[in-house]
């Protein structure tokens, strides 16, 4: 795997001259964030050696290198999911490549269902911790000590300093920023009503089908992680027509501008 990671990292560094320290993964419906980027290079995933290809509506499948607030960043517009049939190792491959390109900070966003009674549709939730209910883990298999330790510590999976920066920024700018625990599940079916209630009971505040694998791999490689969920539906309030992917995309794109300002505040200190 190490050789593949190095080959892809070298390809991307040659193509883009990337020298940044931050990578961003944009979730469902949040792809418009790229409008805020002073774009230097755009590469379709299909043109990047060893990259998987994303197949989902709302996920463009492009890697963008550009500047936000004067800082060079690599942005994944569209991510990979376990439910697409990729292995955990395949879908987290880009995070490994970023690290090899010199990236130290990973910013992640996603669309998620609320499992906290106080959350409203359209709210943002800063992720302070997660629960892995995928039933698997991207680090299963032989461990390459050059990438990270066999048993990585996950006690500060989401960087507390960056959370504090975002918390203070949101407070002083009157942006409603909830905080909570993100539960990752495989999907692609949305949760049953009993499952949403169960997730609330075990301490979950939001549930989604991504993020956890990437964050485990980022921690394995000692990257700093900051994450925000957009609450696109509330699992505890049974919707009249059930949850739908289109609803998720619509709400996510409306909340994208607050997310942008929060990410901007974090990028400022990186």
Contact between 208 and ligand HPA (CB under 6 A)?
yes
Residue 98 CA to its chain's centroid (Å): 14
Note if 19 is an active site residue.
Answer: no
Least separation, in Å, of the C-beta of 231 and ligand HPA? 8
Least separation, in Å, of the C-beta of 183 and ligand HPA? 9
Cα separation, 93 vs 261, whole angstroms: 28
Note if 81 is an active site residue.
Answer: yes
**What's the 3-state SS for 70-83?**
CEEEEEEECCCCHH
Instruction: Show the binding pattern over residues 165-194: x = contacts ligand HPA (CB under 6 A), - = does not.
Output: ----------------------x--xx---
Instruction: Show the binding pattern over residues 239-268: x = contacts ligand HPA (CB under 6 A), - = does not.
Output: ----x----x--------------------
CA distances in angstroms from 67 to 38, 118, 267, listed in the order given: 5, 36, 11
Looking at beta carbons only, is 20 or 114 nearer to ligand HPA?
114
Catalytic residue among 209, 218, 223, 252: 209
Contact between 119 and ligand HPA (CB under 6 A)?
no
Task: Give the binding-site size for ligand HPA (rule: CB under 6 A).
Answer: 14
Contact between 111 and ligand HPA (CB under 6 A)?
yes
**Closest to 30 measured CA to CA, from 231, 209, 249:** 249
Looking at beta carbons only, is 95 or 207 nearer to ligand HPA?
207
Q: Which stretch in 5-13, 53-61, 64-72, 206-214 sits in contact with ligand HPA by CB under 6 A?
A: 206-214
Instruction: Show the binding pattern over residues 61-100: x = contacts ligand HPA (CB under 6 A), - = does not.
Output: ----------------------------------------
- Active site residues per annotation: 28, 59, 81, 83-84, 111, 209-210, 233, 245
Binding site for ligand HPA (CB under 6 A): 111-113, 187, 190-191, 207-209, 232-233, 235, 243, 248
């Amino acid at each position: 795997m190490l050789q593949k990671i190095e080959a892809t990292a070298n390809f991307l560094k040659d193509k883009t001259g990337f020298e940044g320290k931050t990578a961003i993964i944009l979730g469902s419906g949040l792809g418009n964030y790229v409008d805020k980027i002073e774009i230097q290079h755009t590469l379709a995933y299909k043109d990047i050696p060893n990259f998987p290809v994303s197949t989902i509506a709302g996920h463009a499948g492009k890697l963008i290198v550009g500047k936000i607030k004067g800082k060079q960043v690599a942005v994944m517009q569209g991510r990979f999911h376990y439910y697409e049939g990729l292995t955990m190792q395949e879908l987290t491959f880009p995070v490994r490549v970023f690290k090899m390109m010199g990236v130290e900070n990973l910013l992640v966003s996603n669309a998620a269902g609320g499992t906290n009674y106080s959350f409203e549709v359209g709210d943002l939730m800063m992720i302070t911790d997660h629960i892995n209910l995928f039933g698997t883990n991207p680090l299963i298999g032989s461990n390459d000590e050059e990438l990270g330790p066999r048993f990585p510590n996950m006690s500060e999976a989401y960087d507390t300093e960056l959370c504090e920066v975002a918390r203070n920024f949101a407070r002083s700018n009157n942006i409603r920023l909830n905080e909570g625990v993100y539960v990752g599940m495989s999907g692609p079916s949305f949760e049953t009503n009993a499952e949403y209630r169960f997730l609330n009971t075990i301490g979950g505040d939001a549930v989604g089908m991504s993020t956890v694998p990437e964050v485990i791999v980022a921690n394995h490689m000692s990257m700093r992680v900051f994450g925000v969920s957009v609450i696109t539906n509330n699992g505890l309030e049974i919707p009249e027509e059930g949850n739908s992917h289109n609803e998720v995309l619509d709400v996510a794109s409306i909340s994208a501008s607050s997310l942008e300002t929060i990410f901007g505040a974090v990028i400022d200190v990186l």
